[in-house]
Copies of this chain bind each other. A is one copy, B any other.
Amino acid sequence: MDTPCGLDVSLSIVGGKWKPLILFHLQEGPTRFADVKRRVGGISEKVLIQQLRDLVEMNVLVRRDHQRVPPMVDYSLTPFGRTLVEALIPLCEWGTRNRATVAKLSRSTIDMET
């Protein structure tokens, strides 16, 4: 079904807890696995590997293995991925700006129900 709001499409790629954060932290350019992990924070190695793999499969990120010893692998946004990040930023910023307001509203909603 074609709808005027394609948010379902965007969220099929970037939905969930980690992917928006990963993309957010890759804006500066190619980033090594260990640095992604450190910047995102609180994510296990296993989960991060899977999230990165999903984003590579969807052509949002590109993975480069520099064929060195010790191994050096980094991830960067594709041009396609960059368009997604640009579209995502306003909603990220809205959430950050309104975190306290929304928490208060959620609490008062719960209060009304109890």
Contact = CB atoms under 8 A, between A and B. Distances in A.
B24 A98 contact: no
Interface of A, secondary structure class, is helix
Interface string A75-114: 0000010011011101111111111011001100100100
Contact of A105 (B20, B59, B96): B59
B7 A57 contact: no
Interface residues of A, number: 45
Given A13-B102, A91-B91, A4 B86 contact: no
Given A58-B105, A87-B90, A24 B5 contact: yes
Contacts of A13: 102
